[in-house]
Structure 1
Amino acid sequence: MTRPIILLCGDITHAQKEWEELSSFAELREVPIETREEFLDDCKTGKYDGVVAIFHTYMSARYVGLYNKELIQALPESVKFICHNGAGYDQIDPVACMERGIQVSNTPEVVNNATANVAMMLMLAGLRRSTMAEKNLRNEKFRGDIVPGYDPEGLTVGIIGMGGIGSAFSVRAKAFEMNIIYHNNNPVSDERNPADAKYVSMDELLETSDVISISCPLNASTRGLIGKSQFDKMKDNVVIINTARGPIIDEQALVDALASGKVFSAGLDVFEKEPTVHPELLKNDNVTLFPHIGTFTEQTLYKLELKVLANIKSGFETGSLITQVAEQRK
């Protein structure tokens, strides 16, 4: 009897042993690094017939591209599960998957602490403009032309998106004695609001926050959420932090707001056209830039891969995924 196939689209770096254990009930196969066109052709010519589950990684989009309607329609009829390694799953169209009877999972909760820690690093670096200070020091100017920064205590931080990451960030901000407000589609439960943050409208958040931290998912309603009109509403000398997805911010509008002095500094772990970074951001010493390392720790990478594997195993054993994405649970 032909064995079902689990297809790895990307790399497994930490849970190789656990991945290989799935061979007890399925054939394990990896997608070679190929172009989107090659992948589509291979799907259409039957190379991947028999694939039931796909282990999908964020980095695989660099060569295969987005799992949009075109690619999903090309997948073999045997595919029932796409299990994504990451909390954000904007690379996959869950509605198009649902039309094909394909369940999609992500890895919420696992990323919360690591990403919130990076957001705190970026916030503190932004408040103290540490990138400029370090650059001067490396250029043998000791302090050089740096200006005093700001203490976080007593400042108001506005969190856009009070999911798991936003909630974890709020706890950290509370430890720094900050006033915490947030905007979400709806107010969250007490369980999701351990720092007792105040729910406010988007306009109030923009108008009253000294620091704005973005942790909402990227979708049709959040793409370009922060642009020129939003920057115009913000307080002068605001600090902007983004650990969510780059296209939530209009980068040219951010560049202009930094140039005008409206934005004191920015801390970015994600970019609008990632991996490309706007050249003006690269040149600006008031911006701290990380190469999308929010979850890049040994412990978190391992837990992420384990969660994907648990979803795959659940799909085979029960016919459903443990952490199926929200759009498919409605």
Structure 2
Amino acid sequence: MIIVTGGAGFIGSNIVHELNRMGERDILVVDNLAPAPNLSGPKFLNLAGAEYSDYMDKREFRAALKDGDFDSVKVRAVLHQGACSNTLEDDGRYMMDNNFTYSKELLHYVTDQRIPFVYASTAAVYGASTEFTEESANERPLNVYGYSKLVFDDYVRRLMPTFKSTVVGLRYFNVYGPREQHKGRMASVMHHFTRQLKETGTIRMFEGSGGYADGEQRRDFVFVRDLAAINMFFAGIGPNAVKKQVHAVVNAGTGEARTFKAVAEALMQVHGPGKIEYIPFPGDLKNRYQHYTQADVAGLRAAGYAEPFTSLEEGVRETFAEG
């Protein structure tokens, strides 16, 4: 069995579909399908057409872990994508329970059972830093989401010398791709720009901010299928997967920052021409927004992942080829 937490979410559901493409069907999907104010649609639609052997609610799953129900289950790998990823969530108690305590419970289970464990971290740990190497001097989160992820990364790094099986944390940069329509405001700019372009013929992006001109803010946009491939590689799934134990917390991005204007241009190549309008920078994002991100991928490469990344233009084409 392969366990995918957050398996109905954006990245998790793409992992499930990619596992299916590799012939994997014995998958336990764990998620929380309760209504949430930050979601704009139901997550279960992301699993349409997917094949998996079982589903568990996150609360049921955590209780089962605590009770030892999985101790005698043969689990090949755990791909932990489950988290609260709302960067505007200010309830620190809720965020720490979801992103830190839950992750610790899983970590102790997998290390006790010697099961490969690949988990989602985030580039939000870097905050306003302009250096994106996996070093404490660069790790200055701007919100409690980034803080909760950094606390777990640090917990993993402290325990790393004791691990007897693979444990890899992946610091996701700006992820985009199919199956993110439910994410509301937290969806990628590809999703928001596409909706604006189709509805109004105009893409609206922020005026200059953070020292960047209008539309020139830069992000490292990474295609979700590339992240699914990285997860499976370190989990030991697939013919080209890593064959040795890996203990690392590394960046998962392309290593190339692209402007928001470049995103708009790529979308117009797919959806047709439109205009660009610049809007004032939102007040609620001040002091909690990353104007620039670019992954240093040396750590990822050193850990053994050598595959190229999908270009922004190709990733946009693939995303919208699925509708």
State the TM bucket, normalised to the shorter chain. Answer: 0.3 to 0.5
| Larger Rg over CA atoms | 1
- The TM-score with structure 1 as length reference comes to 0.35
- The TM-score with structure 2 as length reference comes to 0.36
